[in-house]
């Protein structure tokens, strides 16, 4: 019994450390590279493809006018760009505020159905050879569209993900934690994308070839993960373009983000069930990246629970070292609890506590998302995250 508990503890800790520590270190060791076909950083006006920028929103009256203005100011030829704003059952006047400019097409769907169903209607009708998908609450840098389309000079590239930059709120610990987490994610995206095996985009800032949009199953929740994974399984390259920038405000409190993470977690498990073929070793690097970066991370909450249970069993059985393990667990739990409280701590310890609380929140959201997925309770519609 003691030996079994030690084995479970070792494997559980190793799995969590692999996805969060050893896997990034593996990339650090092997380095990265850009796709083999060189691309020109600049394209003349004549060679630029026609792009369709599609923004799907629900009750975005507070930001949609600014979003439209931001897109109109992009440094991209007006005659090679269409802007489509799709309102998914909004009842706050989003479609009215989005209109008013001849370059902007506004599509209002009276029934709220979810982002995927709206995209399935809009994308086949878009005129651009490149679809650029974005959100209502972000801003593009002036040259973002040019930077995205540049990578499609490589005929093997199906999808390009830009870089999402969070505008943090000074003095709020959770924004620092999000920043640390997102820096790691962006670093991994740069390495994975450099090899053409980027696992997922972000809904705020990515582009793909229109002919490769074959639609998403209507029940899919996280389309910006499903689409790249499907294309990877088909043998396409998915790349990252760090110079294609989008900016988004972080929510004012960690609790405001929690519901969104539960929804994403449910969508992750849904996608895991449909993308298991990507774990086939014949998929090469893509299989290894999918296993290390996504699969292990998605089931990390269960490894953490099994590790805690193993420590408890070892303690009850009086195994050597169990008291030390229990003390370590108690310290981690206390640090996490302090991260959730308003207790003032020394700056370095306070940051560590905030990171610990953020990590616990992420994994709790994944666990709850899994339960929601198992119960079939996750809807394809979403609740807006409070941003101010």
* Domain ranges (residues) in the chain: 1-31+253-388, 45-250
Q: What is the DSSP letter of 294?
A: I
Q: How far apart are CA 84 and CA 86, in angstroms?
A: 6
Rg over CA atoms, the chain? 22
- Condensed to tens digits (0 to 9), the pLDDT of residues 276-325 reads 999 999 999 999 999 999 999 999 999 999 999 999 999 888 888 889 98
> For position 173, what pLDDT does the model report?
47
> For position 39, what pLDDT does the model report?
62
> For position 258, what pLDDT does the model report?
79
Q: How far apart are CA 49 and CA 123, in angstroms?
A: 16
For CA atoms 218, 219, 224, 228, the dihedral sign is negative
> For position 255, what pLDDT does the model report?
62
Given a contact cutoff of 8 angstroms between Cβ atoms, the answer to whether 355 and 340 are in contact is no
CATH (residue range 45-250): 3.90.550.10
CB atoms under 10 Å from CB of 140, counted, come to 26
> For position 40, what pLDDT does the model report?
65
> For position 34, what pLDDT does the model report?
60
DSSP 165-205: EEEPPTT-HHHHHHHHHHHHHHHHHHHHHHTTB-----TTE
User: Quick one: angle between helices 115-122 and 223-233, nearest 10?
Assistant: 60
- Condensed to tens digits (0 to 9), the pLDDT of residues 143-191 reads 999 999 999 999 999 999 999 988 765 555 445 556 677 788 889 999 9
Residue 5 has φ and ψ, to the nearest 5°, of: -65, -40
Q: Which residue stretches of the chain have pLDDT < 50?
A: 36, 173-174, 387
Q: Is 345 exposed, middle or buried (0-12, 13-18, 19+ CB in 10 A)?
A: middle
């Amino acid at each position: 019994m003691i030996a079994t508990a030690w084995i479970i503890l070792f494997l559980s800790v190793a799995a969590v450390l692999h996805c969060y520590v050893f896997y990034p270190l593996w990339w650090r060791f092997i380095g990265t590279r850009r796709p083999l076909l060189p691309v020109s950083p600049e394209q003349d006006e004549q060679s630029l493809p026609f792009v369709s920028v599609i923004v799907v929103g629900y009750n975005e009256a507070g930001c949609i006018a600014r979003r439209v203005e931001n897109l109109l100011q992009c440094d991209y030829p007006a005659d090679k760009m269409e802007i489509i704003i799709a309102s998914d059952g909004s009842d706050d006047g989003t479609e009215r505020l989005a209109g008013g400019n001849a370059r902007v097409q506004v599509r209002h769907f009276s029934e709220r159905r979810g982002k995927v169903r709206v995209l399935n209607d809009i994308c086949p009708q878009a005129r651009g050879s490149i679809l650029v998908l974005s959100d209502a609450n972000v801003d593009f840098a002036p040259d973002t569209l040019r930077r995205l389309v540049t990578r499609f000079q490589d005929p093997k590239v199906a999808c390009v993900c830009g870089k999402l930059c969070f505008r943090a709120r000074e003095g709020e610990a959770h924004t620092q934690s999000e920043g640390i987490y997102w820096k790691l994610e962006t670093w991994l995206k740069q390495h994975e994308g450099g090899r053409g095996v980027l696992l997922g985009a972000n809904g705020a800032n990515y582009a793909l070839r229109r002919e490769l949009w074959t639609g998403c199953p209507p029940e899919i929740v996280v389309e910006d993960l499903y689409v790249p994974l499907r294309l990877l399984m088909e043998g396409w390259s998915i790349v990252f373009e760090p110079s294609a920038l989008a900016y988004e405000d972080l929510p004012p409190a960690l609790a405001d983000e929690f519901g969104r993470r539960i929804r994403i977690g449910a969508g992750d498990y849904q996608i895991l069930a449909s993308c298991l073929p990507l774990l086939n070793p014949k998929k090469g690097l893509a299989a290894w990246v999918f296993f290390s970066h996504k699969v292990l991370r998605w089931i990390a909450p269960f490894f953490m629970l099994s590790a805690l249970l193993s420590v408890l069993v070892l303690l009850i059985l009086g195994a050597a070292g169990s008291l030390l393990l229990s003390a370590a667990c108690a310290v981690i739990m206390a640090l996490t609890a302090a991260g959730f409280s308003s207790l003032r701590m020394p700056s370095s310890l306070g940051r560590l506590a905030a990171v610990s609380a953020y990590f616990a929140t992420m994994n709790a959201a994944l666990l709850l998302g899994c339960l929601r997925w198992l119960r079939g309770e996750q809807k394809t519609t979403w609740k807006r995250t409070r941003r101010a």
